[in-house]
Structure 1
Amino acid sequence: MSILLPTSIVGSLPKPSWLAEPETLWSPWKLEGAELDEGRRDALHLAAAEQALAGLDIIADGEQTRQHFVTTFIEHLSGVDFARRETVRIRDRYDASVPTVVGPVGRERPVFVDDAATLRALTDRPLKWALPGPMTMIDTLHDAHYGSREELAREFAAILNQEARELEAAGVDIIQFDEPAFNVFLDDVRSWGVEVLERAAEGLRAETVVHICYGYGIKANTDWKATLGPQWRQYEETFPLLRASSIDTVSLESRGSRVPVELVELLRGKTVMLGAIDVADPRIETPQEVADTLRAALDVVDADLLRPSTNCGMAPLARTVAQGKMRALVAGTELLRAELSGS
């Protein structure tokens, strides 16, 4: 990308209050039928406009047309029974009622391609679209058919690859795979997780990103983080594997975390999307704080490979807070750009 330090959000933005309950994850829709379709399209327009107004260089959908970053995609697949619910442990962190895989999974039609085409028509800036990663998908289901996490993940990778290729054809420039499970199931990441992720990205000309965070700023996640000790070193296990992979860019959490910034050195040569906005704290960062977070990474990543971003999605935050955080990300990045250019 020609611009230095291109900025973007990572995932979700808060939805308008007329579409879903504010500051609530996975809120039911407030509209139905044709009104819901129109409302989601309107929210997509608003999200694009808010990002452009904040000055972000890369535009994303803010997940305005989906209730959940994983299950909305799964809803469109065959082989999954949403009426048959089971309680499972999500990422070894909290219990949730999830749908059940009852047969071979398949994708009968595109899921997000129409939404991507709508967003493409709204902006001439680079466009990024996030998909759930295969390992995170299997962690959000009960499997009553395959009996193998790896086998089910490989099936999902093939489905994701179909979707990603069609998103690329619709004009998406950057395809992001969200894999928070990569911070939890480290043995699986080593044995098959990275390979399966590469299968999801196979053959894409678009830039590919894997986003690995410590989760939304919700209590289950903050409680888990409190158990991780004075340093969070999960990335130490995954970064060397990703450095050797075909994935172009690695997205990670930094601001407000206990991740030692020197771990980014393990990605040397890869593009790094660095989280400089803490989504677990409603306080809006100052531009100087953003610049400080980004500057600290320049010892371990070249400036032309650094992408300022948020740590994770901002759906649980107030819209005004998310808007302020986007503006802070841009302002802080501009401070660092001025330093690097000597102006």
Structure 2
Amino acid sequence: MKSSNLGYPRIGEDREWKKTLEGYWTGKVTESDFLLQMEQIRLQHLQKQKDLGIDLIPVGEFTFYDHMLDLAVMFGFVPKRYDYEGGAVPLSTYFAMARGSNRAVASEMTKWFNTNYHYIVPELGDRKPTLTENKPLQAYREAKEKLGIDGKPVIVGPFTFLKLSKGFGPKELPALILQIVPLYIQVLQELAAEGVQWVQLDEPILVTSITKDEMKTVTYIYKQLNEAVPQLRIMLQTYFDAVEHYEDFMNLPVAGVGLDFVHGLDENLEALKEHGFPTDKVLGAGIIDGRNIWRSDLSVKKQLVDTLINIVSEEQLWLQPSSSLLHVPVTVRHEDQLNPIVKEALAFADEKLAEIKCLAENAANGEEEPFAQSKKALTRLNQSIERNRKEIQEAAAAFLSQDIQRNSTFEQRREIQKAWNLPLLPTTTIGSFPQTLEVRQARRKWRKGEWTTEEYDQFIQKEIRKWINIQEDMGLDVFVHGEFERTDMVEFFGEKLGGFAFTKNGWVQSYGSRCVKPPVIYGDVEFLQQMTVKESVFAQSLTTKPVKGMITGPVTILNWSFVRDDLTRSQVAFQIAVALRNEVEALEAAGIKMIQVDEPALREGLPLKQSEWDDYLQWAVKAFRVTTSSIADMTQIHTHMCYCEFHDFIGAIDQLDADVISIETSRSHGELVSAFHQNAYHKGIGLGVYDIHSPRVPSCEEIIEVIEQGLKALETNQFWINPDCGLKTRGIDETVRSLANMVTATHIVRERLAVTN
């Protein structure tokens, strides 16, 4: 058996990738130094995998921002607004597509399947595609010449690329396929001429609910590739779930197929047993979880390998992670502050590759000793007190059989909430304000013990006071306190709840240079203390305007954490919901009567197969209601959601029964407005009117256009005006100018509406 990897984390052990990127963007790193430093990081990652003894090392999946953006640029899909004239795409244009510029807005960004990674959505409508440069070939040459690695180039497959792109309709898809396939052929032919043995084409779209007709299109594409480059061996890789249309999939003219035997274990294994496996193909078996951080019980994995060997020969079998390791941190090696019982049960990217290598070398020889240590470590964790708090488990389970509802219907609450006396098109923000260097330094001093808690609280109050005054001067209608005491919207709550652990260096990429350090839910989740009341009450004492209390919802805390795998995700979600219910009640008792329970990750937890959606949405919606249902009618519940295809589950959004929802839509505003034309929604809603992920300041005219577009689908009495997400990562000047333009634009629209009416 051979060991294989599908992709390695880009960010580096100390986030050196992120620091290099941000240094280049701020002008502290020249372009030549940027390219040199990125090359060094890339080679270090490859050398690590070589040192670990991985047989098939991926090359070409490293990126300066996003792998889908790389492919769009490689094929010349650069929207005309960026003034691109052909040839290799300059870095300035590349980053303008990702982040926007003073002259052009950024491309849309959305979630990569059901993960927390965001990709840049290719726009295919503007230009005829052309190969600008063969980046996989460059990556292969670099690895071979500089490290002696005969790498496995990784490319997003043509069908996944097209399905995840925008700018064309169903009738235009056949013509696009005829344009795209020759470019893939050109790339593959050049790789074959270079001596490449294997190329990995990622087609995760094949695990979603695609139709039989779509599978025929996939068959056509791969027949074209095989006929044009028969000498090149293609590993057709899927991940995140079980493949659809197994028999058609296995008949594709490729040399190998990759299946997920973690998240798609039961279905993939059942299909393999029922239909068998071709004798002329290699099976890439994803047996180590590429998306969670728990160590594998290698004795159990050995049993899975034994089962596979009964179906395919050892020579046909590659052992690999279930997906790219992009979704986990780099190494456990630096985690010297964790509870030893938790630490010994963890495996990040490097440790997962070591597990793969151990299985590849030992699984077939019948010895159990190499696998005994992992079982002992996991047993110690499973038997710990933290994982066996019966009173917490029973309290969460009690809600499963209950019908969880607010005291009154939304229509009844809306009449009561008119007492807020808000203007037409009320303006607000999503929650956070800029976390400046001064804010981060203050937190660091407090954590290191250089400041007392009293000194730190005084600093936080100074920041809150400053931004309450800014909001007053700006004329916003509903305020927030700014969240200056919070590092991350999930980590902050995890630090105050029982059952969570925190890594020192467990960073993963969310989008671009934005990295997050997900908490580790290792035990039963318990409410220990009030978490947000102090800062919210202080902020409210400074103004007569309403100040929203801000908490992160149970499903987002679940989806943005690394979650224990000995309970179902729904069981853990209900434990979190019960804990947060205590916090919502504490805020209300303290006089905070607008409370925002953010669920930006609700959509990303949606299963990839539509047949499984209803079950997920039922328990996810119920967990939100457990958190928010026990308050008075006058208390207004807000929520917020991030980029996603909202038309998929507008019904579930309605069932949350929040009084107001804000949605991150500025990069895809038209599509969302169209969704509300097709699906009635009557509760309060804020469609984000400008993009906070770009440093550019939107003009009043731009914002007016967005507001007026939204009013074509929404009633004026339900439409709220807000940025499309929190402002934590933005600078102070751009934040103030953007919000000022937002308020000005709102006043102009209000005046127009008054004249019209």
Q: How does the TM-score come out when normalised to structure 2?
A: 0.40
- 1:251 is aligned to 662
Residue 651 (structure 2) aligned to one of 218, 240, 243: 240
Contact 2:570 2:619 in 1 (8 A): yes
Return the offset for 1:252: 0.8
Relative to 1, partners in 2 of residues 1:302 and 1:89: Cα closer, same or farther, differing over 3 Å? same
**Cα root mean square deviation, aligned:** 2.5
Deviation per CA, 1:155-193: give whole Å up to 9, x if none: 111111110111122222221122121231223652421
Which amino acid in the other structure matches residue 639 of structure 2? Answer: V
Residue 729 (structure 2) aligned to one of 316, 319, 322: 316
- 1:210 is aligned to 639
**Bigger relative CO (Cα 8 Å, ≥ 6 apart):** 1
Alpha-carbon separation, structure 1, partners of 2:740 and 2:533:
28
Contact 1:240 1:267 in 2 (8 A): no
- 1:196 is aligned to 623
**Larger fraction in strand:** 1
Q: What pairs up with 1:168-187 in 2 under 5 angstroms? A: 168-187=588-607
Q: Structure 1 stretch 157-166 or stretch 95-104: which is displaced more?
A: 95-104
Alpha-carbon separation, structure 2, partners of 1:131 and 1:316:
18
Contact 2:490 2:519 in 1 (8 A): no
Deviation per CA, 1:36-66: give whole Å up to 9, x if none: 2211111111121111111100010121121
Which amino acid in the other structure matches residue 341 of structure 1? Answer: A
Which amino acid in the other structure matches residue 621 of structure 2? Answer: V
Which amino acid in the other structure matches residue 29 of structure 1? Answer: R
Alpha-carbon separation, structure 2, partners of 1:329 and 1:157:
34
Q: Secondary structure at the match of 2:717?
A: helix
- 2:490 is aligned to 70
Return the offset for 1:302: 0.6
Q: What pairs up with 1:34-183 in 2 under 5 angstroms? A: 34-82=454-502, 97-144=517-564, 147-183=567-603
- 1:6 is aligned to 426
Q: Structure 1 stretch 249-258 or stretch 308-317: which is displaced more?
A: 249-258
Q: Secondary structure at the match of 2:485?
A: coil
Alpha-carbon separation, structure 1, partners of 2:723 and 2:460:
23
Which amino acid in the other structure matches residue 637 of structure 2? Answer: T
Alpha-carbon separation, structure 2, partners of 1:264 and 1:42:
41
Which amino acid in the other structure matches residue 745 of structure 2? Answer: G
Return the offset for 1:79: 1.7
Alpha-carbon separation, structure 1, partners of 2:510 and 2:701:
36
Deviation per CA, 1:5-62: give whole Å up to 9, x if none: 11001121103442226xxxxx963553232221111111112111111110001012
Contact 1:186 1:237 in 2 (8 A): no
Alpha-carbon separation, structure 2, partners of 1:88 and 1:82:
13
Alpha-carbon separation, structure 1, partners of 2:504 and 2:699:
47
Alpha-carbon separation, structure 2, partners of 1:176 and 1:311:
15
Residue 300 (structure 1) aligned to one of 702, 708, 713: 713
Return the offset for 1:142: 2.5
Alpha-carbon separation, structure 1, partners of 2:435 and 2:631:
30
Alignment of 1:264 onto 2:691: no
Return the offset for 1:96: 5.3
Q: Secondary structure at the match of 1:152?
A: helix
Alpha-carbon separation, structure 2, partners of 1:316 and 1:256:
17
Alpha-carbon separation, structure 2, partners of 1:42 and 1:146:
44
Return the offset for 1:255: 2.4
Relative to 1, partners in 2 of residues 1:131 and 1:123: Cα closer, same or farther, differing over 3 Å? same
Contact 1:15 1:43 in 2 (8 A): no
Residue 444 (structure 2) aligned to one of 17, 26, 29: 29
Alpha-carbon separation, structure 1, partners of 2:507 and 2:440:
25
Q: Structure 1 stretch 282-291 or stretch 75-84: which is displaced more?
A: 75-84
Alpha-carbon separation, structure 1, partners of 2:570 and 2:509:
18
Residue 284 (structure 1) aligned to one of 688, 697, 706: 697
Return the offset for 1:289: 1.6
Relative to 1, partners in 2 of residues 1:89 and 1:143: Cα closer, same or farther, differing over 3 Å? farther
Return the offset for 1:138: 1.2
Contact 1:116 1:170 in 2 (8 A): no
Which amino acid in the other structure matches residue 143 of structure 1? Answer: V
Which amino acid in the other structure matches residue 79 of structure 1? Answer: G
Which 5+ residue runs of structure 2 have no aligned equivalent? Answer: 1-419, 608-612
Relative to 1, partners in 2 of residues 1:96 and 1:281: Cα closer, same or farther, differing over 3 Å? closer
Relative to 1, partners in 2 of residues 1:333 and 1:97: Cα closer, same or farther, differing over 3 Å? closer
Which 5+ residue runs of structure 1 have no aligned equivalent? Answer: 22-26, 215-231
Which amino acid in the other structure matches residue 201 of structure 1? Answer: T
Q: How does the TM-score come out when normalised to structure 1?
A: 0.85
Identity %: 24
**Larger fraction in helix:** 2
Which amino acid in the other structure matches residue 202 of structure 1? Answer: S
Q: Secondary structure at the match of 2:626?
A: helix
Alpha-carbon separation, structure 2, partners of 1:259 and 1:300:
10
Return the offset for 1:95: 7.8
Aligned length: 319
Deviation per CA, 1:245-265: give whole Å up to 9, x if none: 422222112323355112234
